[in-house]
Structure 1
Amino acid sequence: MQLNIFTVLIFALFAEGHSLKCYQCTGLLGPCEKKETTCPSGDAVCASQMTVQFNGAASTNIPIKSCLEPKMCFDGSVNYGIIRTTTTTQCCNTDLCNSRDVSDSSSNNLNGKQCYYCEKDSCFNKLSCLGSEDHCIKTKVNSESLSVTIKGCASKSMCDAASQMSQVYADVSCCEGNLCNSAKSITQNLLILLSGPFLSYITFH
């Protein structure tokens, strides 16, 4: 009986200290070559993600595998007019369970919503939102020499993820009504893409 209790205690201690192992890779420049990694957080899950970046008629698929916080396991898209990024994510909680790639499940169908977006020197342009883009988004980035605002359509999940990072990277706000992100002229645009759950600052336009 004492041996059984000892065995149970050892198992419990091992399970408490066990860190999840996941595949990790980013297919930015080619195939996603998987490597094993141990998640730093005890509550992390394994994620397999497909990010698709649309630039006009061209599109680029970016597979990503990683450890991820459970709250970051979501699907969605953000659309700044010329640039649109969609994300499809599948999460699991056993070792190396994210081996399979994920297919893009986003919709390109018009959903009837409109938001303002910025192009060249004007933010008076109207954008028809697609798929799950049920919010209008406005992002303001401040630096020492430049203050930049960009606008468009976004899924609620993308708004929630961006707002969690907004104090570090930018001032992000979302709203639900048609054209609720207001029209305002600007002098320059900054293209900001949501790559899965991460904000990537790409380039000045």
Structure 2
Amino acid sequence: MDLQLSVSLLFILFTAGHSLDCYKCSSLTGSCAGQTRVETCPSGYSKCMSSMSVSVGFLGDNSDMMTGKSCAVDCHSGSINTGNIRSLSVCCDTDRCNAQDAPDPRSIASNGKTCYSCEGQNCLNITSCSGTEDRCLTATRANKDELRVTKGCISKSFCDATVTTTVREGGEVISCCEGNLCNGAQSVTQSVLFLCCSLLSYFLMH
């Protein structure tokens, strides 16, 4: 019994001091092939993450893609679709488990749900949700005299992880709802890039 107890304590001490290794990269070509390196995650970083974001029409007619891999503090697998920008992240918790690039969000099949999204000041667009996007998103942030709003589809895992913390720390109010087109239709100014950066920063830093 004493031997078993000693072995158990040694195992606990070993695993507590073990640092996670994750692949790290950042690419604008849609793939991290040949660009990855291994990093030992800082203390408290317990997940590896792969992500891909695709913007269509937001900065012009061409599609812009950004692929990334890194360590993350609190990472949740899921996706966001705001009509012009689609982002997807995949999280795991073993050494170098993020070897594969995240899937292209455009390759994920539609799930039949729909939400309002914004283009310019028009938030009457209807966007088809895909994969695990089972909620509709509304994100608002006051910017001087202007209220910036983003709408779209979002996975429940993102909603559960970001709503309270984002409101408290960033001043941005993120709300999620269930049901087709439940996030209302308004004419507002969108801030899509800010929302995506806020969510990615949350998963990486908090």
TM over 0.5: yes
Q: 1:74 aligns with which of 74, 77, 97?
A: 77
| Whole-angstrom distance in 1 between the partners of 2:108 and 2:48 | 28
Unaligned runs of 5+ in 2: none
Give, in angstroms, the shift of residue 31 of structure 1: 6.2
What do residues 91-117 of structure 1 show as CA deviations (whole Å, max 9, x unaligned)? 2413x4434434336655443333222
Residues 60 and 160 of structure 1: is their aligned pair in 2 closer, same or farther, counting only changes over 3 Å?
farther
Which residue does 2:88 correspond to in 1? 87
| Whole-angstrom distance in 1 between the partners of 2:105 and 2:112 | 20
Name the SS for the 1:111 alignment partner.
strand
Where do residues 1-205 of structure 1 align in structure 2 (5 Å cutoff)?
13-28=13-28, 32=32, 33-42=35-44, 44-47=46-49, 49-56=50-57, 58-69=62-73, 71-76=74-79, 78-81=80-83, 83-94=84-95, 96-104=96-104, 107-123=107-123, 125-132=124-131, 133-163=133-163, 165-167=165-167, 168-169=169-170, 170-186=172-188, 188-192=189-193, 193-194=195-196, 198=200
The answer to whether the 8 Å contact 2:24/2:69 transfers is yes
| Whole-angstrom distance in 2 between the partners of 1:8 and 1:128 | 52
Name the SS for the 1:183 alignment partner.
coil
Larger helix proportion, structure 1 or 2?
Answer: 2
Normalised by the length of structure 1, the TM-score is: 0.72
Give, in angstroms, the shift of residue 138 of structure 1: 0.5
Which residue does 1:203 correspond to in 2? none
The answer to whether the 8 Å contact 1:86/1:196 transfers is no
Normalised by the length of structure 2, the TM-score is: 0.71
| Whole-angstrom distance in 2 between the partners of 1:181 and 1:159 | 14
Return the letter of the residue paired with 2:75. Answer: M
Name the SS for the 1:185 alignment partner.
coil
The answer to whether the 8 Å contact 1:166/1:172 transfers is yes
The answer to whether the 8 Å contact 2:19/2:40 transfers is yes
| Whole-angstrom distance in 2 between the partners of 1:29 and 1:104 | 12
Bigger radius of gyration, 1 or 2? 1
What do residues 21-76 of structure 1 show as CA deviations (whole Å, max 9, x unaligned)? 322222247864333322223561333x131313146434433221123x514132
| Whole-angstrom distance in 2 between the partners of 1:72 and 1:147 | 29
Give me the CA root mean square deviation.
3.5
Identity %: 34
Residues 21 and 156 of structure 1: is their aligned pair in 2 closer, same or farther, counting only changes over 3 Å?
same
Give, in angstroms, the shift of residue 135 of structure 1: 1.4
